[in-house]
Amino acid sequence: MSKVNGSTHGQRKAPLISAGMLLGIGLGGFIDGIVFHQILQIHSMLSNKIPVTDLVSAKINMTWDGYFHAAVWIMTLVGVHLLFKAGKRNDVRWSGKVLSGSMLAGWGAFNITEGIIDHQILNIHHVMEYVGDKLPYDLAFLASGISLILIGLILIKD
C-alpha cells in the first residue's frame, strides 16, 4: 500500500471486483431476460417444462420470468451498494479496467451458472427452445460465459 498524506491509498482491488461481479451477474441476467425472453422470445423461464402454447402457459412463464428479473434486480442493487461502499474507501484502487473486467467476469459467471443449472441440470429451458437440436445453442451459451470470464480476468489483471 502506498501512503498519501499519511493514509493508505488505492491499492486494494477486491472491493471493486466484488461490486463489479455482482453488477455483471445482475446485468448479464437482464441482458438474457430482455433479449432472449422478451425481444427475441426464443425461450421463457419454464418453456421446456411448460411450453408457451396458449395464454395460460404464457402467463405462467411470464410470472416466472418476473421472478427471475426480480432476482437479477436484487443482484444489481447489491452490486451498486457495494460499489458505493468501495467508493468511500481510501484503500480501493479505482480502475475502469478492473470494474469493466469484473462486470464481464460476472456476466460470464451468470451464463455458466444459468447454462449448467437451468439448461442442463434442471432442464427448465434452453437457449433455443423451438429447434430440434438444442445442445449446440446451449454449448455456445456456455462458451460465451467462458469467453466473458477470460476477457474479464485479462482486464482485472491490469
Instruction: Give me 49's grid cell.
Output: 417444462
**Mean pLDDT computed over 116-129:** 96
pLDDT value at position 9? 56
114 and 30 in contact (C-beta within 8 Å)? no
Longest dimension (CA), the chain: 67
Q: What is the pLDDT, as a whole number, of residue 38?
A: 95
**Nearest-10 Cα torsion for 127, 133, 136, 141:** 10
- Determine the pLDDT at residue 71: 97
Contact, 23 vs 83, CB < 8 A?
Answer: yes
Q: Where are the beta strands (DSSP E) in 32-104?
A: none
**Closest Cα partner for 31 from 106, 100, 102, 84?**
106
Query: C-alpha cell of 98?
Result: 478492473
Chain-centroid distance of CA 81 in Å reads: 17
Give the pLDDT score at 158: 72
Is residue 78's pLDDT more than 90? yes
Of all residues in the chain, the percent with pLDDT exceeding 90 is 92
Q: How high does pLDDT run on average in the chain?
A: 94
User: In terms of Cα–Cα distance, which of 17, 119, 29 is closest to 75?
Assistant: 29
Q: Using CA atoms, how far apart are residues 97 and 124, in angstroms rounded to an integer? A: 35
